[in-house]
Amino acid sequence: MKKLLFIILSLALFTSCERKINEYAADKGSANFTTYISVGNSLVAGYADGALYHDGQLYSCPNLISGQLQLAGGGAFVQPMVNSNIGVAVYPGVRPKFVLGYKADCQGIVGLSPVLAQGDMDPFAPVGYAVNNLGIPGAKSFHLIVPGYATMNPYYTRFASSMTGAVVGEFANLHPTFFTMQLGDNDVLAYALAGGSYDSITPIPIFYYAMKTVLGTLLATGASGVMANIPDVTSIPFFTTIPYNGLVIPRQSLADSVNMAMEHFYHLPFHYIAGPNPFLIRDMSASPPFYVRQMQPGELVLMTVPQDSLKCKGMGIIDVNTHLPYPIPGEYVLTTAEVTQIKGATSIFNAIIDTMAANRHIGLVNMNSRLKELNSQSGIVWDGVHMNTTFVTGGAFSLDGIHLTPRGNALSANFFIDAINQRFGSKIPYVDITKYKGVVFP
């Protein structure tokens, strides 16, 4: 018995070592990642939850990409860091980030909702150092070539090397060897976020000229890189969370009274039933005197619509005080015509981006098809993490319904890494998505 025990114990010692598998061997391929810069808008800057704040920047898509490039010769990646974890006061009245919290609505019902975070924001001040992340919240394509843009966009002012120059003027001084770019989203998104009421879609020739100039200036530095095209912005939670027929009438008797009022008092041909009904919206092409109509399937309500007015004041149907039809104002709605305009412009812009990328040997990140996949029934699954475009529970979009969570940024970074590896024959490992959080519950 003792002998056996001895044999077993020696075996136990012998087996204490681990099985070996070769570690992932990162390789830069034909690229040179020594000095990496990222160019573009808020998606590049690390803007999230409706603000630019410290942790959002740490989890910015380019910062995550940079972490992986550093395994294949990439250098340091400097961002214009905000110290506060709730925001930076770039202009008076700017809001801090959203967090998920409990809030009582107008009916006194307490529910989970994005609420403004408490605390101190960073005061607005230039950071005073050169940065690799040139992402500027709010920037459209042509903003990057406008001289003096630092006087117009305080997010750029924070790190601009000159108040009179253009963003494209920064490139050469940074001596980049590699770049990623995500630009052009705001050329359609800004119009969409305004409900098509103000702002405008960038005219095609201007978009074309701006992209050409930005890419030309980037490539003139000798850098190579990848760029993303523009996703269908109408599929993000900001536009899809409140359904067009979100007007729920609890009882048939109530629907009957609404029908009677519509027919006899206002002579409006709308019929209501118990259950979900389309909201009433303002439409100047509808008949006077009310200029209202019901929403159609495919039309979108913006997340910024005053929800208490919807719930308690009769917005979207009949004003509880004046008893007159109370349409949702146009700035909170994308009509079929506006959606068509946005989608049309997106596909033209993407044709331009795709062609320019191909002609200039820039790798292309097909963000448009990636967001379609995320927006599909099955969403995207990665290491057991199921993600989709649903607000909060989908895990990818942050509480502003527009920008990404750390997990969404990790996914986006992996799309970029795919494009980099494909274009340059490199072997950059993926970001481990399981390390990054989605929306954080209280």
Contacting residues toward other proteins, per CB under 8 A: 1, 4, 7-8, 11-12, 14-24, 26, 68, 71, 100, 112, 381-386, 395, 407, 429-432, 434, 437-442
Looking at residue 252, its amino acid is Q
**CA-wise closest residue to 67 among 439, 437, 438, 414:** 414
Distant-in-sequence, close-in-space partners of 25: CB < 8 Å, separation ≥ 6: 427
Comparing CB distances to other proteins, the nearer of 273 and 381 is: 381
For residue 52, the minimal CB distance to other proteins (Å) is 21
**Neighbour-count burial for 324-341, b at 16+ CB within 10 Å, e otherwise:** ebbbbebebbbbeebbeb
Shortest distance, position 405 Cβ to other proteins, whole Å: 9
Burial of 246 (0-12, 13-18, 19+ CB in 10 A): middle
> If DSSP codes are grouped into helix, strand and coil, which group holds residue 174?
helix
- Give whichever of 8 and 109 is closer to other proteins, judged by the CB atom: 8
Taking the least distance from each CB to other proteins, the nearer of 277 and 405 is 405
Closest distance to other proteins from the beta carbon of 96 (Å): 17
Q: Which of 24, 91 has the CB closer to other proteins?
A: 24
- Least distance from other proteins to the Cβ atom of residue 382, Å: 5
Of 52 and 439, which has the nearer Cβ to other proteins?
Answer: 439
Instruction: Output 116 or 219, the one with its CB closest to other proteins.
Output: 116
Q: How far is the CB of 221 from other proteins (least distance, A)?
A: 29
Between residues 271 and 386, which has the closer beta carbon with respect to other proteins?
A: 386
Q: How far is CA 191 from the centre of its chain?
A: 15
Q: What's the Cα-to-Cα distance from 426 to each of 68, 216, 238, rounded to whole Å?
A: 12, 24, 36
CA distance 346 to 431: 29
Q: How far is the CB of 421 from other proteins (least distance, A)?
A: 9
Instruction: Write down the least CB distance from residue 406 to other proteins, Å.
Output: 9
275, 248 contact by CB (below 8 A): yes
Question: What is the smallest separation between the CB atom of 303 and other proteins, expressed in angstroms?
Answer: 19
How far is C-alpha 277 from the chain's CA centre? 29
What are 177's two structure tokens? 């060897």
Q: In terms of C-beta distances under 8 Å and separation of at least 24 residues, what long-range contacts does 426-430 make, across chains too?
A: 426/27, 426/28, 426/29, 426/30, 426/31, 426/72, 427/24, 427/25, 427/26, 427/27, 427/29, 427/72, 428/26, 428/68, 428/69, 428/71, 428/72, 429/24, 429/26, 429/68, 429/71, 430/68
- Angle, helices 367-374/406-424, rounded to nearest 10 degrees: 140
CB closer to other proteins, 69 vs 345: 69
